[in-house]
A and B are shown apart, each in its own frame.
Chain A
Amino acid sequence: QKEVEQDPGPLSVPEGAIVSLNCTYSNSAFQYFMWYRQYSRKGPELLMYTYSSGNKEDGRFTAQVDKSSKYISLFIRDSQPSDSATYLCAIRTNFGNEKLTFGTGTRLTIIP
Chain B
Amino acid sequence: NAGVTQTPKFRILKIGQSMTLQCAQDMNHNYMYWYRQDPGMGLKLIYYSVGAGITDKGEVPNGYNVSRSTTEDFPLRLELAAPSQTSVYFCASRTTGVDQPQHFGDGTRLSIL
Contact = CB atoms under 8 A, between A and B. Distances in A.
Given A41-B106, A44-B90, A98 B50 contact: yes
Contact of B43 (A41, A51, A88): A88
Given A43-B4, A43-B107, A51 B102 contact: no
B101 A100 contact: no
B83 to A, nearest CB: 21
A78 interface: no
B71 to A, nearest CB: 17
B53 interface: no
Contact of A105 (B4, B42, B101, B102): B42
A104 B42 contact: yes
Looking at chain A's contact residues, the main secondary structure is loop
A71 to B, nearest CB: 18
Interface in A63-107: 88, 90, 95, 98-105
B74 interface: no
Interface in A24-60: 32, 34, 41-46, 49, 51
Interface residues of A, number: 24
A88 B104 CA distance: 13
B43 A102 contact: yes
Contacts of B75: none
Interface of B: 4, 31, 33, 40-45, 48, 50, 56, 58-59, 90, 92, 98-99, 101-107
13 contacts: A41-B106, A42-B106, A42-B107, A44-B43, A46-B101, A90-B43, A95-B98, A98-B31, A98-B33, A98-B50, A100-B43, A100-B45, A104-B42
